[in-house]
Chains A and B, each alone.
Chain A
Amino acid sequence: MAQFLNVEVFSRLAGLAGGSVSADSWMGYAAAAAIHILFLIHVVAVGALVFIWLERKVAGRIQDRLGPTRVGGKFGWLQTLADGIKLIAKEDITPKDADPLLFKLAPYVSFAASFTAYMALPFANGWAAQEINVAVFFIVAVLGLEVFGVILAGYASGSKWSLFGGMREAAQVVSYEVPIGLCIVVPVLIVGSMNLVTIGEAQVGFFSNWLIFHDPFTFLVFFVYFTCAVASVNRAPFDLAEAESELVAGFHTEYSGLRWSFFFMAEYGSMFLVSGLAAILFFGGWNGPIPIFHMIGWAYEQGETGWRITGYIAQVAGVLNFMLKAVLGVTVMMWVRWTLPRLRIDQVMTTCLKYCVPLAAFCFIGAMLWKVYDVSSPHDLHGYTYGRSFAETRENWVLASEDNASRAVGNALRGVPESGTTEAQANSNRTSPHAHASVGRGTPDVTAPLAAQEVN
């Protein structure tokens, strides 16, 4: 994308002014990075606006009400915007007993952790802000940090309601990290990669290739994952940290105005994130139930690095697919919230330790045995595949590391000293299945989405 911008936009603009811009100019990278940041911030900020409106509508319908109807014409779709303006106009209060610095910083910590995880989340084949080889692990690590802001808010408010809310949230999130980690390991184990783009692309083809239909254990583990995800983003029936019937409003009792809304942006951001992660890990990510764009040949082929309009359209359709699945997940979370009553804290812990952890461990072992004994999955019953099978993905992965090792051995035999390490790394870049067509380090390249799956 950086090069595309340089060649197509900046060099033409410079041509008008009589100058010239090279394809590798910094301007393209800066513009590409800015566009990515803009898009991601809008996913979180505008997403929160839409989700809050949706939540009111869903809550209203479930309780046999209408929800917002007037603001912004039909369906009250500008209600959240009106609320936002109201929030901006509110006074920003810091309580007398509060720790002023931490009280002010806590909402930003929460929001920053939620937003950072988006850096590794791919929205379509190769369309991630930063494609990380261990993206799954990164997202789990960063999501666990969101609770930090909540704890700080609970402590720094200097109010007992806030402190109780913060403590509850801490105990809950720390416990639920165990089963959620066990659940996420199952798809990683089946595909053989922690790269989210690889996991998503391994499920290309008909919906029977989605990992949730891979075997009975993945089907079961998805529901465990979803339960734990609801708990880890602190939604009802696990919303003990802000239980309004007991703790006024829990950790955000003392907050007002825009700071208060940052917590909500973080919450809806995390909800979308865990739903998106579920979509990639279990529901084929950006691949639709029927691979239409593969059938008519528009989607990018394996190893293709060029840019073409049909491929771009297929990618945009992939983004829509992904968004649809993630929004569906968020809607189910809302449905759950307005259906189930809140659990007690001991019930929350029982759900985690007595049900989720053993179930996740059982499914993990089951999926592992399914893999070891190579039992067929429903997808093998019909022969329609577009793209690589799991075995092929894994094979590429192993081949690359073997290649890496054999090159290192070759260097050792030839007597190449220390510099061999650097060389082996450079070689591994060239030969690895996930090698970037490195247009720019740190700046993702949107025009070459399939470079990520370059097959040797």
Chain B
Amino acid sequence: MLLAAIDWHALLFLLFALVACGFGAAVLLTSNVVRMAFYLTLCLGATSGLFFLAGAQFVGAMQLMIYVGGTLVLLIFGVMLTAQARFISMKTGAGEWILGAIVGSSLLLLLVRAGFSVESWRLPRLDRDKITLAEGQTSTAIGLALTSVRVDKLSAPNEKLKPGMSGYLLPFVIVSMHLLVVLIGAGYMARTKRLGVNRATDRPVAQAPPRDRDRSFFVSAGLASGMIVNLLLAVGCCWLVAKPLAITGNAAPTNQFLLQLAKAIDAAPSWLLPTLGLLFLANVLLLVVVWYWQKWGVVGLVIVPLVMAFLIASTSLGQAAAVTIALIALAPVVLLILLLCSGRPTAWSQME
């Protein structure tokens, strides 16, 4: 059969390659910036098609996400927002053509030389029946390389190639931190300014006079008692670190509760008590923050007990103790939030 004789894989490869090259050339030959971006998108999309054809699905999807999506953002913010009429249609002079041709062709020559320098790429392989596509399993190896070990290095023939086997964990973490910083920075830059500049007169607007904020007696009392209790707990933790309770002997506490407490402290790792003390101190500081009308203090007050619970859960004391302590610590916070949200006007609405 004629159709059965066709090598579909090669045919599709040629198709995608033609699309990629054709639209690459179209990017060069068009003078309209938006059409250029559109052709560039199609060119990059065809390249991702080549990756999918080779079974590298992760890289293909990455190509779509980063390059095609990136071109999109470029198109939006680089062209549509900023371009004036004279930039929309770009005329290229003869000198620019010559310069571009020299740079481009030298790069092309370099790539062709590099491509043909690989021995196994020169001739078509004869054992094509034996080649199996990776069937998309490549992403596992990529994931392993990013977090722990490079599978391909394991089979390195000599010891000199072995270094670098531990993968790309450090670059991965650095890049993710970088992206996080960029995300937060972008949010910061784009935020609405509270004290803007009056556009009409181009003079700063006078700051609104601070509102009279009244704090009800219950909220004040709750905050004050919270500070005192947390301070006492922090001091207690420090005291227990300095002078541990004895479990046995004459000094052992006769009170059943104290005895249980001493046993629990003894069973816990040594870092737990100082950490808990610090967290109680943090609670005091957060209460001070709430006292000065900052909303993020309340968020911190919710987070600290959860952190405590996770710390305790990770020790030998068990999850039951963790949940109990979290509940005991969360209950006053919930009470405080209820207090903040009651009254008229609510304390919450006055906070920043």
By a beta-carbon cutoff of 8 Å, the part of chain A in contact with chain B is 25-26, 30, 99, 101-102, 105, 132-134, 137-138, 140-142, 144-145, 147-148, 151-152, 155-156, 163, 166-167, 170-171, 174, 177-178, 194, 346, 349, 353, 357, 369, 373, 375, 397, 400-401, 404-405, 408-409, 411-412, 415-418, 420-422, 424-426, 428-429, 432, 434-436, 438, 441-442
B325 at interface (Cβ–Cβ under 8 A)?
no
9 A-B residue pairs with Cβ-Cβ distance under 8 Å, sorted by A, are A25-B4, A99-B34, A133-B138, A141-B64, A166-B80, A170-B76, A346-B192, A357-B187, A425-B132
CB pair B149–A405 under 8 Å, yes or no, is: yes
Most buried by A among B3, B32, B65, B68: B65
Please indicate the chain B residues that have their CB under 8 angstroms from the CB of A167 in the complex.
76, 80-81
Binds A, one of B153-161, B271-279, B286-294: B153-161
A142/B141 contact (C-beta < 8 A), A134-B57, A408-B151, A412-B154 known: no
Interface residues of B in 176-198 (CB under 8 A from A): 183, 187, 190, 192
CB pair B35–A26 under 8 Å, yes or no, is: no
Please indicate the chain B residues that have their CB under 8 angstroms from the CB of A140 in the complex.
65
A401/B72 contact (C-beta < 8 A), A411-B155, A438-B135 known: no
CB pair B154–A145 under 8 Å, yes or no, is: no
CB pair A408–B187 under 8 Å, yes or no, is: no
A432: nearest chain-B partner, CB-CB: B137
Selected from B4, B72, B152, the residue in CB contact (under 8 A) with A147 is B72
CB pair B139–A194 under 8 Å, yes or no, is: yes
By a beta-carbon cutoff of 8 Å, the part of chain B in contact with chain A is 1, 3-4, 8, 32, 34-35, 38, 41, 57-58, 60-62, 64-65, 68-69, 72-73, 75-76, 80-81, 120, 130-141, 144, 149, 151-152, 154-157, 183, 187, 190, 192, 310, 313-314, 319
CB pair B157–A412 under 8 Å, yes or no, is: yes
CB pair B137–A155 under 8 Å, yes or no, is: no
B149: nearest chain-A partner, CB-CB: A405
CB pair B137–A425 under 8 Å, yes or no, is: yes
Selected from A26, A178, A400, A425, the residue in CB contact (under 8 A) with B134 is A425
Cα distance A418–B161 in the bound complex, in angstroms: 14
How far, in Å, is A119 (CB) from chain B's closest CB?
Answer: 10
A421/B152 contact (C-beta < 8 A), A99-B34, A133-B139 known: yes
Please indicate the chain B residues that have their CB under 8 angstroms from the CB of A142 in the complex.
64
Most buried by A among B137, B157, B310: B137
A429/B76 contact (C-beta < 8 A), A140-B65, A404-B151 known: no
How far, in Å, is B306 (CB) from chain A's closest CB?
Answer: 9
CB pair A375–B76 under 8 Å, yes or no, is: no
CB pair A429–B137 under 8 Å, yes or no, is: yes
Please indicate the chain A residues that have their CB under 8 angstroms from the CB of B314 in the complex.
373
Q: Interface majority SS on A: helix, strand, loop or mixed?
A: helix
CB pair B156–A174 under 8 Å, yes or no, is: no
How far, in Å, is B72 (CB) from chain A's closest CB?
Answer: 6
CB pair B69–A422 under 8 Å, yes or no, is: no
Cα distance A446–B158 in the bound complex, in angstroms: 45
Cα distance A322–B225 in the bound complex, in angstroms: 55
A404/B141 contact (C-beta < 8 A), A133-B58, A178-B183, A441-B133 known: yes
For the complex of A and B, list the 6 residue pairs with the smallest distance between their C-beta atoms, beginning with the closest.
A133-B136, A141-B65, A141-B64, A412-B155, A408-B155, A170-B76
A112: nearest chain-B partner, CB-CB: B45
CB pair A424–B155 under 8 Å, yes or no, is: yes
A133/B76 contact (C-beta < 8 A), A102-B35, A421-B152 known: no
Selected from A151, A422, A424, the residue in CB contact (under 8 A) with B131 is A422
How far, in Å, is B54 (CB) from chain A's closest CB?
Answer: 12
How far, in Å, is A196 (CB) from chain B's closest CB?
Answer: 12
B153: nearest chain-A partner, CB-CB: A408
Cα distance A133–B60 in the bound complex, in angstroms: 12
CB pair A141–B76 under 8 Å, yes or no, is: no
Cα distance A349–B169 in the bound complex, in angstroms: 33
For the A-B complex with A133-B135, A140-B65 known, give 19 more contacts whose Cβ atoms are closer than 8 Å: A30-B3, A99-B32, A101-B35, A133-B137, A134-B136, A137-B61, A148-B41, A155-B34, A170-B72, A170-B76, A174-B73, A369-B310, A397-B140, A412-B154, A417-B157, A424-B155, A429-B134, A432-B135, A436-B135
CB pair A375–B319 under 8 Å, yes or no, is: yes
Most buried by B among A151, A178, A434: A151
Please indicate the chain B residues that have their CB under 8 angstroms from the CB of A25 in the complex.
1, 4
Please indicate the chain A residues that have their CB under 8 angstroms from the CB of B35 in the complex.
99, 101-102
Selected from A171, A178, A349, A401, the residue in CB contact (under 8 A) with B141 is A401
CB pair B61–A134 under 8 Å, yes or no, is: yes
How far, in Å, is B336 (CB) from chain A's closest CB?
Answer: 20
CB pair A132–B136 under 8 Å, yes or no, is: yes
CB pair A428–B65 under 8 Å, yes or no, is: no
How far, in Å, is B146 (CB) from chain A's closest CB?
Answer: 13
CB pair A134–B157 under 8 Å, yes or no, is: no
Please indicate the chain B residues that have their CB under 8 angstroms from the CB of A408 in the complex.
151-152, 154-155
Please indicate the chain B residues that have their CB under 8 angstroms from the CB of A404 in the complex.
137, 140-141, 151
CB pair A145–B76 under 8 Å, yes or no, is: no
A428: nearest chain-B partner, CB-CB: B137
Please indicate the chain A residues that have their CB under 8 angstroms from the CB of B68 in the complex.
141, 145
A373: nearest chain-B partner, CB-CB: B313
CB pair A138–B155 under 8 Å, yes or no, is: no
B310: nearest chain-A partner, CB-CB: A369
Cα distance A435–B75 in the bound complex, in angstroms: 40
Most buried by A among B32, B187, B192, B310: B187
CB pair B69–A141 under 8 Å, yes or no, is: yes
A145/B72 contact (C-beta < 8 A), A132-B57, A404-B141 known: yes
Please indicate the chain B residues that have their CB under 8 angstroms from the CB of A373 in the complex.
310, 313-314
Please indicate the chain A residues that have their CB under 8 angstroms from the CB of B76 in the complex.
151, 167, 170-171, 174
Cα distance A155–B134 in the bound complex, in angstroms: 41
Please indicate the chain B residues that have their CB under 8 angstroms from the CB of A99 in the complex.
32, 34-35
Cα distance A140–B61 in the bound complex, in angstroms: 9
How far, in Å, is A456 (CB) from chain B's closest CB?
Answer: 14
CB pair A435–B61 under 8 Å, yes or no, is: no
Most buried by B among A26, A148, A353: A148
Please indicate the chain B residues that have their CB under 8 angstroms from the CB of A151 in the complex.
72, 75-76, 80
How far, in Å, is B330 (CB) from chain A's closest CB?
Answer: 14
How far, in Å, is A140 (CB) from chain B's closest CB?
Answer: 7
CB pair B187–A353 under 8 Å, yes or no, is: yes
Cα distance A195–B29 in the bound complex, in angstroms: 41
A400/B38 contact (C-beta < 8 A), A145-B68, A155-B80, A353-B187 known: no
Please indicate the chain A residues that have their CB under 8 angstroms from the CB of B192 in the complex.
346
Cα distance A288–B113 in the bound complex, in angstroms: 58
CB pair B57–A138 under 8 Å, yes or no, is: yes
Selected from A26, A422, A436, the residue in CB contact (under 8 A) with B4 is A26
Please indicate the chain A residues that have their CB under 8 angstroms from the CB of B138 in the complex.
133
B156: nearest chain-A partner, CB-CB: A412
B150: nearest chain-A partner, CB-CB: A405
Please indicate the chain B residues that have their CB under 8 angstroms from the CB of A141 in the complex.
61-62, 64-65, 68-69
CB pair A401–B41 under 8 Å, yes or no, is: no
Please indicate the chain B residues that have their CB under 8 angstroms from the CB of A436 in the complex.
135
How far, in Å, is B243 (CB) from chain A's closest CB?
Answer: 32
